[in-house]
Amino acid sequence: MENRIELKVGEILNRVPSDLTLVVMLHEKDGDRSLPLLVGLLEAQAIAINVLNLKMPRPNIYDLYVSSMESLDAILEEVNIYKIANGIFYSHLYIKKDGNVHYVDSRTSDAVALALRTGAPIYIDEELFSVHCAHKEGNGAFSMPITTASIQVLEEAMEQAVESENYELAAKLRDEINKRNGVGNESNI
């Protein structure tokens, strides 16, 4: 696991036009690149609670998980984002118990929420990060690679591209959607 990048949670952004998905920006700890992670409202709330240092009256599922690990003398050593495919992020939790490290497959949004609660670092391989990272534009916006977007996001972006008569972008988006769906590029816009 050499050549890894440590990530930290940055902004939580509203993704227009959908109000059911938010974007958690995972920033390179010692750099300028970011990784946009699409998350549901509940996951975004769990992440925001910790980012904003809010105290809840009752423990949520992530607090329960951390308490359970602590009562079993287990420690979340780190989170590793190991794969991004078709807009879906895949992560492992590295949990240390009795001197042994076990990895558990996890949704990345859940892994980030747990890492924030335990102080565990979040890592991604440099090669994977360089392919999927977003770059900050001069106007404060981010340009993200097509590979990090879900099919739903791609479809919405394609509709917007057609409406604004940006047919070259619409064709690229169509091709990516077709590729993910296992369809040839026969369809017309």
Q: SS3 for 62-112, per residue?
A: HHHHHHHHHHCCEEEEEEEEEEEECCEEEEEEEEEECCEEEEEEEEHHHHH
- Report pLDDT for 53: 87
- The domain spans of the chain are 4-141, 151-181
Question: What amino acid occupies position 62?
Answer: Y
Listed in sequence order, the residues at least 6 apart from 45 whose beta carbon sits closer than 8 Å to its beta carbon are none
Name the pTM for this structure.
Answer: 0.76
* Cα Rg of the chain, angstroms: 18
Residue 169, Ramachandran bin (φ over 0: left; ψ between -120 and 50: alpha; else beta): alpha
pLDDT, one tens digit per residue, over 10-37 is 988 876 555 677 889 899 998 888 888 8
pLDDT, one tens digit per residue, over 127-158 is 999 888 876 666 665 666 666 667 777 787 78
Which SS3 state, helix, strand or coil, does residue 17 take?
coil
Provide the greatest CA pair distance for the chain.
60
Contact 26, 122 (CB under 8 A): yes
Mean pLDDT of 67-77: 96
Please report how many Cα atoms fall inside a 13 Å half-sphere around the Cα of residue 188, on the Cβ side: 0
13-17 CB contacts, 8 Å cutoff, 24+ apart: 15/153, 17/156
CATH 2.40.50.100 holds for 4-141: no
What rounded mean pLDDT belongs to the chain?
A: 85
Contact 4, 126 (CB under 8 A): yes
Structure tokens, 60: 């949520």
